[in-house]
Amino acid sequence: MADYLFEIDTGFAEMEEYGTVIQASMSFTYLDWKLAQQITEGEVSIDDLSNERFTQVLLNIFPNCKTILHYLIDNPEQLGKCLKRI
């Protein structure tokens, strides 16, 4: 996952007070991404997350337009727990 940490969506935006500026968007924090990695690697279970934290991780869109569901494709146990909570 760390290979993509600095690949974020960027673009140009016109702002009246500043002119043309570079705009960067990330829908997640490093902590969200780290938690997703820990879930993927089995260090943290989906069952350990509060409903609020589970929802936040579930709705995050990580680099390359991937979600926690993409990361869990090779971890059927965690994927099954995730799908049952949805």
Separation of alpha carbons 27 and 49, rounded Å: 19
pLDDT, residue 1, reads: 46
pLDDT 10s digits, 19-73: 766 555 556 788 888 999 999 999 999 999 999 999 989 988 887 788 899 999 9
Separation of alpha carbons 8 and 57, rounded Å: 18
For residue 60, the enclosing domain spans: 2-85
Residue 77 has pLDDT above 80, yes or no: yes
Q: What is the pTM of this model?
A: 0.65
> What DSSP state is assigned to residue 60?
-
CB 67 within 8 A of CB 60: yes
- What pairs with residue 62 in β-bridges? 66
pLDDT, residue 70, reads: 93
How many folded domains does the chain comprise?
1
